[in-house]
Amino acid sequence: MTSCNQSQNSETTSDKVISLEPSPGNSKQFTIVKSEQENADKGEKAIAKLSSASGSDLIGDAIFTKVDENTVNIYVHVKSVNPGEHAIHIHENGDCSARDAKSAGGHWNPSGEEHGKRKESSEFHKGDITNIMVGENGNGILSMNMEGCTIGGDENTNILNKAVIIHASADDFTSQPSGAAGKRIGCGVIEVAIQ
C-alpha cells in the first residue's frame, strides 16, 4: 500500500518531505525540491501526489525515476477508484487548483503530434501514457518506461511542473484530441524529489 505523508522540512521552509510506503515496512522518504534548476542534475526522481478531482475519492501517487538520459520510468499507484480501466496522461500545466482539474490544461504535446498510443502509434502526445487497470478493491498499479522524457531536461522532454491526470474512463487511443477518456478524477503536480 502506498501512502504519502507530507510534513514541512525543518531545514528549509521551501521544501516538503514525503514518505512513501510501497509495501509494509519498506518506507522511503523523498524531499520535494522547489528549486528545479539547482537540483535537476541531482534529481533522478520526481513525484506527483495525486488528489481527488471532480468529486472522486481518488488518492495515490506517481513516481518518476530516471532510466537513462532520454527515458523515465513511471510508477503509479491509485486507491479508491471505480474498477476498470482509467486513462493516465501528463498535462501541460502543473496546476491542480480547479475542482475539475481543468487548470492542468490539455495533454502535454510540445511537438504538436496527434493523440495516440505510446509505443504502438507513430504519433502520440508526449503526455500520452496508457490506461491503468483498477481492480474490484479500488486499487490500481502501473509501471512503464517513457522514452523521450526527462527529469529537468529541455522544454521538449522535461516532465517537471506538469500535471499527472487520472481520468474517469479508458483512453481509446484514437479519438482526438484526448482519447475520449472522460472527466478528470485525479491530479498531481510533478516535482523534483531527492532521496
**Full set of structural domains in the chain with CATH:** 4-194 (2.60.40.200)
How much is the pLDDT for 118?
A: 52
Cell of 184: 478528470
pLDDT of residue 8: 31
CA-only gyration radius of the chain, Å: 16
Over residues 36-52, the mean pLDDT reads 70
Neighbours of 175 (CB within 10 A): 11
Rounded distance, CA 64 to CA 42, Å? 14
Cell numbers for 152 = 529537468
pTM of the predicted model as reported, rounded to 2 decimal places: 0.73
Q: For residue 147, give the C-alpha cell.
A: 522514452
- Percent of the chain scored above 70 by pLDDT? 64
Q: What local confidence, expressed as pLDDT, does residue 154 receive? A: 85
Place of cell 518531505: 17
- Helix (H), strand (E) at residue 40: none
